[in-house]
Amino acid sequence: MRSQNVIALNICASAVLFGVFLLRLFVRYHHKTWKQISKGWLLSDVLVAIAIFLAISCSVLDSWIRFAKMDMEERMAGPVPESPVELVALIRDGRLLKEDALQVAFYNQIAFVSLLWSIKTSFIISYLGMAQFLSRLLRLALYSSTVLLGLTYIAMMLILTLWCRPITTNWSSDSSQYCSAQTNGTQTIIFYILHLGTDIPVLTLPIFILRTLRLGTGEKYALAFVYILGVLTIVVTTTRFVFHLQYARMYQDGEIADMFKSLEKIYLVSLAEVFASGVLVCLPSMRVLLRTLLRAAGILTVSEKTTTDQEGITEDGFEMIHTSKSKFES
């Protein structure tokens, strides 16, 4: 894909992610005062905000590097500088651009892991507010998932920052000194296992937790749609894993031309995964907004069966059964 097309894709993805996040905040806070906002509710949104910021920063930095590469390609395609000083400057700029690109790639690795784990943690925290209504087994599973997310994130950060020492070798323009965790097949497998291993509880726990909710037909369809997107995200994760393994093998075999094509595939699939994850975490709030707009337009009527007060709405927009704690634990 041409650099101009990828830059346009970066801009569109960033705009959509920022837009759905603003809508999420509007739906969750426009009717609340600060006293009504719980710490868990606020922390969940802070984590999503961090994820959206990291996603946009990755897109901005990637676009900046692509603009710089296009400018360098134009300079290289032009006439050879007659002055030795200008020729040396051109070579130096090319080397510096390579280092900048490698630094951006290193930052994107850390940001990519951080934003995905932030979104996962946001999902878990959204359900921690209901912990008192859940059985002891579900509470234990919920707390264990939170600890698992924390430990796996620390493990990934240690791998990315300590795999190559000194850390400056991650962006060295000297091929004999260059080192990166993403060029190693072992690291790729470890990341996939940790990533998938933390995705599973994030997707499966709500199945048991949402048994405590009064779900109508519309809510069931909405929940099914969310899970379909979650499964698709796992499919994208697996696809990126395959591309990453190919990239690591090509790097070890010295297949430079095919390696850059594979790296481009990895970025595009990663962008798709980030986009899907960002939309997924904001999707329940979009459902609440859509339902409100439809009711305001008179398209959707509010029946006595589906009407509930605001305290009966979970952070994901589904209606909770008003019952005692003992019933949940029975």
What is the pLDDT tens value at each position of the chain, 330 positions in all? 688 899 999 999 999 999 999 988 888 787 777 777 777 778 888 999 999 999 999 999 999 999 988 888 887 787 777 777 777 777 777 788 888 888 998 999 999 999 999 998 988 887 777 777 777 888 888 889 889 999 999 999 999 999 888 999 988 888 788 888 888 888 889 988 998 888 888 888 777 776 665 555 555 555 666 667 677 778 888 888 888 888 888 877 776 656 667 778 888 888 888 988 888 888 777 766 666 666 666 665 554 444 333 333 444 444 333 333 333 333
> For residue 319, what are the β-bridge partners?
313
Spell out the residues 6+ positions from residue 207 whose beta carbon is closer than 8 angstroms to its own.
Answer: none
Report the pLDDT value the prediction gives residue 259, as an integer from 0 to 100.
64
Helix-helix angle 84-128:256-296, to 10 degrees: 40
Fold classification of 3-329 is Rhopdopsin 7-helix transmembrane proteins (1.20.1070)
Which amino acid, 45? D
| 30 half-sphere exposure, CB direction, 13 A CA radius | 10
Output the CA angle 126-200-48, nearest 5 degrees.
35
The two tokens of residue 56 are 């946009």
Give CA torsion, residues 234, 236, 237, 239, to 10 deg: 130
| Cis, bond preceding 166 (omega within 30 deg of 0) | yes
Query: Nearest 5°: phi and psi at 256?
Result: -60, -50
- Quick check: 52 and 17 in contact, CB under 8 A? yes
Dihedral (C-alpha) 210, 215, 217, 218: value to the nearest 10 degrees? -80
Please give the pLDDT value at position 243: 86
Q: Looking at residue 33, what is its pLDDT?
A: 73
Tell me the C-alpha distance between 147 and 153, whole Å.
10
Answer yes or no: are the C-beta atoms of 226 and 203 closer than 8 Å.
no
Q: State both tokens at 228.
A: 């379909």
Rounded Cα gap, residues 317 and 32, in angstroms: 15
Q: Which residues does 319 contact at the CB level (< 8 Å), separation at least 6?
A: 213, 214, 215, 216, 219, 306, 308, 312, 313
d(CA 6, CA 229): 23
Q: Alpha carbon 257 to chain centroid distance?
A: 29
Give 204-233 pLDDT, tens digit per residue: 877 777 666 555 555 555 566 666 767 777
Contact present, 95 and 178 (Cβ < 8 Å): no
| pLDDT value of residue 49 | 94
Residue 195: Cβ within 10 Å count: 21
Helix, strand or coil for residue 330? coil
Q: By three-state DSSP, how is residue 128 classified? A: helix
pLDDT at 237: 84
